[in-house]
Structure 1
Amino acid sequence: MELQVKNFRGISSAVLPLDKTTLVAGQNGAGKTSLAMALAAASSGHASPWANVSVRDAKSGLLRKGASRGSVTIMDGHSHITVNYPGGSVSGEMKVGAVSAVAAGIISPADMKSNDLTRLLYDYLDATPNKEHLSEEIGAQAAEQVWPVIESDGWDAAYKRARESGTKLKGQWEGLTGEAYGSAKAQAWQPQGAESYSLQHTSDEMQAAVNASAENLNAMRNQNAVILSQQEQLQQQIIRAEAAQKYLADNGIDPNNPPDPEAETNAIRISIQRADLEKLADELPALELKKVELTQQTADAYKAIEAARQKHDALPKPDVAVITAPCPSCGTHLVVVSKQELQIPATEQLSTEQREQMTSAIREADAELQRAESIHATLSQQLATIAGQHARASEAADQLAGMPDVAASGDENRIAVLSRVARAIQTIEHGNAARQQLEQMQASGIDQEAINHAEMELNAANAALHIRQLIDQASGISKRITQNIAITTALSSGVDGLRGKRMAQQLSQLNESLAHISASAGWKTVFISDNIAIQYGDAEYGWQLSESEKFRCRVILQAALADLDCSPVMVVDAADILDKKGRNGLIGMAKKLGRPIIIMMTINEKKDVPNLAPLGMASFWINESGEVEPV
């Protein structure tokens, strides 16, 4: 596998092997960095070697000055991938692992700011916790609530929200207890006066006890209310009995020896009824005479109706076609109704005067018939009335015959008085019974002491329940605060947070790799602390290290990250800073890691470039024309 470059930045042409460690030497500005960029661009298929810079924006700096076209190609047997410039089009296809910007030496993690390095390591080490990690840390239920916030707003926003929630919870606890929150205090907190009550039962059990006490007290109160109501009713009966006694006394009646109202009332009613019947029976003779008289008159009226009807029916009708004919016996002119029956020859028809006379006669007959019917109807009605009166009088006479002759004086007013007397006597009897019952109830009395004791028990049970509920509420808030502390700690960016723990776990593996790579080069061990500080040996990366030590530190970290991102080759620039021992260590590291390294060194003359072919490596020189030629 090899890299082919034409007119890319400082390189006019180059062909470099990618399957073995290669030394590329040249003067300052010869194009060593251009080769690293070309390798990163071709292997990633991204036309711009800077991930955040487009080809259009970088166009002026990608082609070699004076060239109209350029390309970068990676060849592997018969397959290839090529990036063409200035357009940035990609042709060909091959499965080549991308060379990362870190492996290509374009960016140096060791020289990054702390926050940038932290983000880079999170990506490289896959150290950002996922939902499963969060569930293991704070529990699945809490993770279900927190994870959507992390997904939408990020870990820091979720951490801020959790802190705000914790502040609110502590405020709730302080509002409930009246004291500032403390974890030790919250575990043993009890409200004032709690020592006076037995609190070994649960809130539900104590609520059941309160309900039972309330039911017992309500039953006692209800029973007391019933007794009081009964006593009030009995007292009202006694008052009414006293009023009844006064009524009898005012009417001159001895309550102890009262009359028999019912017997006297019955006698008066019989006397009144007998008088009414006698009055009806006295009218019976006259009614019998009247009935006989009206019966005769009604029969006569009926006969008058029959006579008037016969007279009416006998009159000839002027609206019939009438003819006259002489009687065969006497010669008198007769009205002929049917010639066929009589077989009398017609002689003459009625005249107008005859017609008028016949009509007048009919009208008089009609009037006479109507008068007769009217008289009959009136008499029939009178007869029916008299017949009814006669029947009642006859019935009264029959009742009188079977009714005893009772001597009693009085009327309805007397009956009303007797009724009131009867009610008064009954009221007095009820009052006497009520007085006896009331005396018995008052003797037994109401157990007010038991009611007072039940009220005290209920008040004590309610007070104990209230304290139990306060303790439970405070404990519930305290548990939520404890859970919130766990969530807040897990979300924090510090070493105690889940991200910090996850990073520490991953850093442990990375530090093992760094130690291995450091040992393969024979250099001091590179180590990254939990607070993302890079160390070379015992010194922190920075002013305490020489430039050569910094270079070693950068290369070791670069190699470890190239392992993680599976870059097929690594580019080390400015290796001329190393002495002979350091360069030997770099080459030894390449051999032991099994990853080809393109080593860039600044050397002034081609003759000074070491020939690495005997070591199974290759050496190249970049001449003044930008051509890369083998040594």
Structure 2
Amino acid sequence: MQEIKSYVVNFRMVKTASLIIKNISLIGGLVGAGKTSLLQAMAAVLTGEIVSGNLVTKKTIKKLIHRGEREAMIEVENSDSKVTAIYPACTLSSEGKTPPKASGIAVGLDNLLKMKTKDRQEYFAEFLKSSPTMDQLSDAIGKILTSEQKTKLAQNIQGLGWDAVHLNMRDSGARKKGGWENITGENYGSKKAENWMPEGWTADLMKATVESLEKEIQAANEWVEAAIKDQAISQSEMERLTILADDEDNLAEIRHKLSDRSTELGGDLNRLELKSGGINVSKPYFCPNCDIPLGINKSGDIVAVNKNITKLEYEKQLKEQTKLEKDKLKIQKQLTDIRKKYDANETKFQAAQRAVKMLNKITSQSPESETADIDDVKNRLVIAQHRLKMFNQKSEAYEIHKSILKLASVVKFLAPDGLRLTVLNTALDEANNKIRELCVIADYPIISIDPDMDILYDGSSHLEASTGEQFRIKTVLQFFISQIEEPALIMVDVNVPLDSESNNGIINLAHYINIPVLIAMTIKNRESLPPIHSIDGGRVYWMDDGNLEKINGQAVNGQAVNGQE
């Protein structure tokens, strides 16, 4: 067991104190003598919290210095190291390889009884190293998640922590419930969601598929298109067809007249062609002296040709030929115009004939039956579309419901009172066995931690315990935690009235544990100090007006030594 030495000057109520703790050291004194100030000084150095915890802030640090003094110093050392704190500079320095350290629980600054249940659970989970392993989480979740989902969940826990992932998953579940409600238009409930069906749902939809319902819609669409194609004649179209059909007779008459006129003009043109074919009007050259027509033979000589025609006769034939050509051109122009008119009229005439046929077909059908047929096929399309919508609604809602159930199960495992508490309770069983051993050594009623993180004293909640009983609980838990932490020093400040059994229990615990223990007790006089000199390494000190004095033996023989052992 290491020996701890400490030297404190001008800290709060302490003027000067020097002490050694090897096994058990006991400090006695009246209220206000400086015992608690001495333990707080050593606690600040051992925990490293020189301006926090149960002390004061840096702004009010001068309150930690003994009245009338300018500086305070605290030293705590073991066999090879030393830690020193200086106020008001608030400096903490250490020398050596293994500076003495202790937790807030070990030195009495922190009290498990004052923690909230959630904080107490988190403390024990970390202290007992009882956070579930990823294998434990995987086994607990089972088949709720796939292997990939479990791996991702484990990674999130390692990166964000259990509480953050638990909150995220819980929020995700709430969002999914909102999604279910948006789809269904109803408030979510697990029983309702298990068998929810949209209004209008029919039993045959249970065996349907998206593909089969899409085929229904396609077939209904084709029926609608066919019906519309058969009936799609609007009122304006009827009026247009009627106008065209009404003009059929007039167009037929025009057609007949144009055809007759074309035939007539064609005959005239043929007669003119025959007539003009009998007239030879080749233009000769006439002799200027005798008016005999002349020509040029193959030899290039000028010779007399067609001596039977005179110049006068030639001019007469030319005039007649010119008139025939003009008449033919006139008739040809008339024929061209007639043909254009005929073609245009023929287009209108054929359109009128088609209009007549269409109107005959339409008027032969029942308008009421056509309207009824279209309304029927359109209604079939609406029903087919609604069936697919209902099917998708139910499928999507049910998938969300299954996802909500999965999330709820995972959230339950992730919750502070879920898998973590289950694993912690297993660790607590072993912890309670060790706590029980300490209670037996101290001769106290059994103290234990129940699954709900309540600390029990003799089977009842610590909240029902008296002040003295609560101090017993705090001390036993302090020694239990120190057994595992192995701090450099345990400090117990007995700042409440205790009976002799309680005091003896503390001394028994201190004698049992293999860690130096410093105990401060409020005692009326030196003669009432517990006789611990018989314990190996046991030391007794008396504190009065800020000065610490070592008591040698059971009798009071020591002298104040100005803070030195």
Task: Give SS of 1:82's match.
Answer: strand
Alignment of 1:570 with 2:493, yes or no, is no
Task: Give SS of 1:627's match.
Answer: strand
Equivalence for 1:462: 385
> What one-letter code is carried by the residue in structure 2 that aligns with 1:125?
A
> What one-letter code is carried by the residue in structure 2 that aligns with 1:628?
E
Q: CA deviation at 1:616?
A: 2.2
Aligned pairs (5 A) from 1:294-443: 411-412=331-332, 415=335, 419=339
**Structure with greater helix share of residues:** 1
CA gap 1:84/1:439 in 2 versus in 1, 3 angstroms: closer
Equivalence for 2:308: none
Residues of 1 paired with 2:124 and 2:473: CA distance?
18
Equivalence for 1:44: 47
Q: Indicate conservation of the 8 Å contact 1:108/1:554, yes or no.
A: yes
Residue of 26, 36, 53 corresponding to 1:33? 36
Q: CA deviation at 1:599?
A: 2.2
Residue of 618, 621, 626 corresponding to 2:538? 618
Number of residue pairs aligned between Structure 1 and Structure 2: 498
> What RMSD over aligned residues (CA atoms) do the two structures have, in Å?
5.9
CA gap 1:281/1:215 in 2 versus in 1, 3 angstroms: farther
Task: Give SS of 2:202's match.
Answer: helix
Aligned pairs (5 A) from 1:595-606: 595-606=515-526
Residues of 2 paired with 1:192 and 1:240: CA distance?
57
> What one-letter code is carried by the residue in structure 2 that aligns with 1:460?
I
Residues of 1 paired with 2:279 and 2:420: CA distance?
126
Equivalence for 1:513: 431
Aligned pairs (5 A) from 1:176-195: 177=184, 179-195=186-202
> What one-letter code is carried by the residue in structure 1 that aligns with 2:226?
M
Deviations 1:156-212, CA, capped at 9 Å, x for gaps: 99699949x84x87677567656554321221122333236534223x325522442
Deviations 1:505-529, CA, capped at 9 Å, x for gaps: 4365346324413323413232234
Indicate the structure (1 or 2) with the bigger Cα radius of gyration: 1
CA gap 1:19/1:221 in 2 versus in 1, 3 angstroms: farther
Task: Give SS of 1:617's match.
Answer: coil
CA gap 1:34/1:459 in 2 versus in 1, 3 angstroms: closer
Percentage of pairs with the same residue: 19
Q: CA deviation at 1:605?
A: 4.1
Q: Indicate conservation of the 8 Å contact 2:436/2:447, yes or no.
A: yes
Alignment of 1:209 with 2:215, yes or no, is yes
Structure 2: 5+ residue stretches without partners: 289-313, 553-565
Residues of 1 paired with 2:345 and 2:168: CA distance?
92
CA gap 1:174/1:190 in 2 versus in 1, 3 angstroms: same
Q: Indicate conservation of the 8 Å contact 2:82/2:100, yes or no.
A: no
> What one-letter code is carried by the residue in structure 2 that aligns with 1:470?
Q
> What one-letter code is carried by the residue in structure 2 that aligns with 1:189?
W
Residues of 1 paired with 2:54 and 2:499: CA distance?
34
Q: With structure 2 as the length reference, what TM-score do the two structures score?
A: 0.66
Residues of 1 paired with 2:471 and 2:90: CA distance?
33
Residues of 1 paired with 2:23 and 2:286: CA distance?
159
Aligned pairs (5 A) from 1:249-264: 251=257, 261=262
Residues of 1 paired with 2:184 and 2:118: CA distance?
43
> What one-letter code is carried by the residue in structure 2 that aligns with 1:79?
S
Equivalence for 1:109: 112
Q: CA deviation at 1:536?
A: 0.5
Residues of 2 paired with 1:9 and 1:435: CA distance?
117
Equivalence for 2:459: 538
Q: Indicate conservation of the 8 Å contact 1:124/1:561, yes or no.
A: no
Q: Indicate conservation of the 8 Å contact 1:81/1:91, yes or no.
A: yes
> What one-letter code is carried by the residue in structure 2 that aligns with 1:475?
Y
Residue of 454, 466, 475 corresponding to 2:398? 475
Q: With structure 1 as the length reference, what TM-score do the two structures score?
A: 0.60
Deviations 1:259-302, CA, capped at 9 Å, x for gaps: 6956x6555445667889999959x469998xxxxxxxxxxxxx
Structure 1: 5+ residue stretches without partners: 290-392, 492-496
Q: Indicate conservation of the 8 Å contact 2:25/2:517, yes or no.
A: yes
Residues of 2 paired with 1:414 and 1:288: CA distance?
43
Q: CA deviation at 1:555?
A: 0.7
> What one-letter code is carried by the residue in structure 2 that aligns with 1:513?
A
Residues of 2 paired with 1:508 and 1:576: CA distance?
34
